[in-house]
Amino acid sequence: MNPFLQQLTIALAPALLPTFAVLIGMMANRNQIESLRNEIKTEFAAQREVWRAELRRVEEVLDARLRHLEER
């Protein structure tokens, strides 16, 4: 092997190994964040439906009370 390439390899190896480790860690972290984001979106959608149902019920009660007052 060429002495220059050997020296270059020895010089770059300590810098490349941690870089690859960090990149792999970032990719794993990104997948976890994406999974958490999807879970949060699902939870918010479910909560939105609960709120809509509750607000619909409040609206029905208020409409019934208004009708009762108008009938008097």
| Residue 71 Cα to chain centre, angstroms | 51
The three state secondary structure string of the chain is CCHHHHHHHHHHHHHHHHHHHHHHHHHHHHHHHHHHHHHHHHHHHHHHHHHHHHHHHHHHHHHHHHHHHHHC
Spans of all domains in the chain = 20-72
pLDDT at site 72: 79
Q: pLDDT tens across 25-54, in order?
A: 999 999 999 999 999 999 999 999 999 999
pTM over 0.75: no
pLDDT at 14: 85
- Cite the beta strand spans of 20-67 per DSSP E: none
pLDDT at 9: 87
Please give the Cα distance from 6 to 13 (Å, whole number): 11
pLDDT value, residue 66: 94
